[in-house]
Amino acid sequence: MKKINLIFNGIIFLSSIVFMAFLPFPSNSPSYNAAIVLKVIQDVKHKKPQKDWVVTKPATPLEAKDQLRTGDKSVAVIRFIDGSSLRVRENSVITIFADKKDRGLIKNTKIDVGKMRFDVEEQKDEDEFIITTPTAVATIRGTSGLVNVFEDGQTILTVETGTVEVRALFGVQQSGTVEAGNSSVVTVEGTVSITKANEQQLNEVRNSLKTNEKFIRVQTPQGTFRIYYLDFE
């Protein structure tokens, strides 16, 4: 009975954190919670501007300008207020930006390097969901897919469902529409090439939902907890 009560109290506590994380800040507040970390596997850290990196735990709220990074064999799942989610894969660095407008919210996630799956809910007319990389900006509405940013800034974006408007930020600044089943490559020179996604790219998008998670149980005086890790073998 004691163990059941501990579990029940833990659920109530976590639910309270999730609820409070999405409470709107006063309109005169300089910052507000744009998203929340739903899941953490292994080495995930976050930081605020001009602060040190700290270990990220589930139910951590993320404000505008917060950064998050993942280490080897690590994953973080982030949920935004509108229900859209990002699955940040290993060795990735992102920054959360959000800007409240009179009638909507502009959500912009900047990924400096790494891979990130996006599952974006259909956006209202006043809302926007944007993904920015060192070489490209992508506007997403009700779309799922995967973005892969290399060390040199080259960006590959593969769309699983929906459409994405992509535009190069530098050079010749080409742009285009990437539809479901297609992939785009944005180079540091500003070119945008859109082609039918190959089987390897499509498999990578599908597998981005899989984490091959395993866990070990840890017994503490407060109860039994699970520690998750990734098995890449």
pLDDT tens digits along 21-71? 433 333 343 456 789 999 999 999 999 999 999 999 999 999 999 999 999
pLDDT at 5: 43
Q: In 3D, which of 174, 175, 179, 142 has the Cα closest to residue 158?
A: 179
Expressed in angstroms, the distance from the first to the final Cα of the chain is: 39
Among candidates 114, 116, 117, which has minimal Cα distance to 92? Answer: 114
Query: Can you give the pLDDT at residue 41?
Result: 92
Alpha carbon of 11 to those of 16, 17, 219: distances in Å? 9, 10, 17
| Domain 2-230 fold | Jelly Rolls (2.60.120)
Phi, psi at 198, each rounded to 5°: -80, 175
- Mean pLDDT, rounded, for 88-98: 95
- Looking at residue 23, what is its pLDDT? 36
**Phi and psi based region of residue 171 (left: phi greater than 0; alpha: psi -120 to 50; beta: remaining):** left
**Number of helices and strands in the chain (H, E):** 2, 19
The mean pLDDT value of the chain amounts to: 83
d(CA 128, CA 121): 10
- pLDDT of 210 higher than 80: no
pLDDT category, 212, cuts 50, 70, 90? Answer: low
- Least confident piece of the model among 106-115, 121-130, 200-209: 121-130
Q: What pTM was estimated for this model as a whole? A: 0.77
Residues 73, 233: contact at Cβ < 8 Å?
Answer: no
Query: Residue 45, Cβ neighbours under 10 Å: how many?
Result: 17
Q: Which helix (H) or strand (E) holds 2?
A: helix 2-21
- For residue 155, pLDDT over 60 is answered with yes
Closest C-alpha to 175, from 163, 187, 192: 192
Q: What is the mean pLDDT of residues 91-96?
A: 97
What is the Cα–Cα distance from 225 to 162, expressed in whole angstroms? 39
Q: Burial of 19 by CB count in 10 Å (0-12 exposed, 13-18 middle, 19+ buried)?
A: exposed
The pLDDT value given to residue 98: 82
Residue partners of 54: CB distance under 8 A and separation at least 6: 45, 46, 47
Q: Is the pLDDT of residue 192 over 80?
A: yes
In terms of Cβ atoms closer than 10 Å to its own Cβ (0-12, 13-18, 19+), residue 39 is middle
